Chains A and B, each alone.
Chain A
């Protein structure tokens, strides 16, 4: 491991998407993350994809699970078994961080709540992440990413101006995860300075609301309730996604200054319509946005999206295609930046996945391992870390402690 968190160990009880990606981010930075599951309660993303409905064979064939559990070690512990709980506590006692996203109260009943665990590790940092937070009348309410986005207020703001709200999905889980990672890092900074651990109570729906501060303030300041506007912006025009040559090919164009507007006009070959008084300044363009969008679409329709991006960018105009998965994978820029990496998975073989979201010059964040198969790292975790003999481990596997 080369990352800045080398030497930090995390016992990770999280499942689904919002929990596991939080510890994955810390794992990208070099933390050792040990994921605790069991046959009774495997992470459900080993079995199905929430977004596509795809059902995976067995426990170790899920691309989704691989993508959000990279760099982790895996063990099996049946936490309904008291001996397993003792082993989990032992592991936490030699960890820096423990993370969980069960329904509030569940970990406490298992004997693995914050109060119980800080007895074995006084400076522990403990993250509880849930849909609505660990306190309040709705603390036991359950939800997935679309629920967080809807309760948080962002689903209402997303969608065509004349259409329904937009059910957001996986990206919302991963935003909640990144929020968790930030809270953990802040707690780690405090512990590094003072030696004190703490408990973090995170609400995934609140993690959505903080991303629309200006919309919420528009209501508290002005009593105005913001509405959906598709791709449109409150001030800029043009600000849209326009059809290009080929089926389902699109280009986004956003013009914020007079210089960018002039650049767009040059790129189009200075058509007469663009010089008309009703497009003369930003306010006029905003006022005649429907016509502006129609005119632009007539032009973009004749060209491949990537050609237009290059042409517009040469003129200083912010433009980029709405990329599908193939375009992203073949994108020369993402290629050169190393955005795609490969791992060799013990059961799935070679898998392409996405690199960490930042580049750190001195302590690179890296993908070092595929996601663990269920219970892959018993020798290291129970043997090397917890000091159990092979016989003891085998016995506990037979007894069902490590089910």
Chain B
């Protein structure tokens, strides 16, 4: 079967998570993604764990292996003029350049949007930076932690805090950085649609701060519209339920609609509560939940997550178990849907990876190849640019490639 982005040519000059995740999304859908890495060291994600069996080598980082499936890797040093010349040659033939260098860096090397666009007016340059290409913070540095907080998302976590004495926190892992890469991919494909219709490329300026801010758009317009500021404190009447402890961990349950409340009462064996005047609507249930909390808690503590999940869902009660990584891998629903795919990388042998979160009926997602070894595609890609074996050997000798 065809892939959705067949024939799309992408150059990726990006490291760690956001840019590479954008590139992965395009590559796993059939785009040819050529990843440019610094000679010798490669993408910084190669030096970051978790590592396969604890072996801290450049081909054994789980982070790198996951984020760079289906790509080709070449090495190229942009600090040398010959390196910059080759970069221009790559950009000349590309539809999309994904890059994450600090604002203005490529411009100072003569590789900015204007220069590349003059060579290739079709080119879409997708730039991913912490704070965008303009504005007073454009040169500020920020890691995932900083951006999760600078965007206002961290300040809201952990939600349902009893008070404000402890520090706000980030989301688990590097999920915010992944989300920024996802945003960049959406915009790159928007620009690609226009490019194919008109021949015109353009510049996509993605500020990670703004992408993350946008993910809280339904909460973070409250202050500007003169409503109370959202905090990480538990909302007094938000709903009943939320996170609840049970025999082997936690479940989450959100009871919003009246029919969900009725289902919940049935679930915990107290159908009489459904008719209780203290619990007539969502607001009242929130206010009076304390009165029945001990009984609900005892009911939960006597049961496992899976028991509560399936019994609740049989009644259309929106309850879900909090799953660990091993339980996600074992999840029968995910496995029924073939969510995990086996990828055989030379350094690790076959390993199960998460696949795509959606099924495209005509153009299925697939891992075209495992993540590349550092510079493994130098010969193929540089030959395509017209460099013969002698020339390539000379450039390698000089550390350009």
Contact = CB atoms under 8 A, between A and B. Distances in A.
B391 to A, nearest CB: 35
Interface in B358-384: 358-363
A378 to B, nearest CB: 27
| A171, A219, A248, A354 — most chain B CB neighbours (10 Å) | A171
Contacts of B190: 3-5, 29, 185, 360, 363, 365
Contacts of A326: 223, 229
A156 B326 CA distance: 11
Interface string B207-230: 101110111111111111101011
B182 A192 contact: no
Interface stretch (B84-92, B192-200, B272-280, B290-298): B192-200
A140 B310 CA distance: 11
Contact of B353 (A171, A213, A318): A213
B221 A353 contact: yes
A313 B357 contact: no
B118 to A, nearest CB: 14
Contacts, number: 524
Contact of B173 (A154, A240, A355): A154
Given A219-B329, A336-B136, A239 B145 contact: yes
Given A186-B5, A193-B6, A234 B169 contact: no
Contacts of A243: 167
A196 B151 CA distance: 39
Contact of A215 (B150, B169, B173): B173
A5 B192 CA distance: 10
A317 B140 CA distance: 8
B395 interface: no
Nearest to B333: A138
A135 interface: yes
Contacts of B113: 361
Contacts of A45: 218
A320 B54 contact: no
Nearest to A212: B173
A151 interface: yes
Given A252-B145, A326-B229, A339 B213 contact: yes
Contacts of A201: 358-359, 361
28 contacts: A44-B256, A50-B254, A51-B235, A52-B230, A52-B235, A138-B332, A142-B318, A151-B328, A158-B158, A166-B157, A166-B158, A175-B175, A175-B215, A202-B358, A207-B358, A210-B355, A213-B178, A217-B66, A220-B352, A230-B167, A236-B143, A241-B145, A252-B146, A316-B141, A322-B168, A325-B224, A332-B136, A352-B225
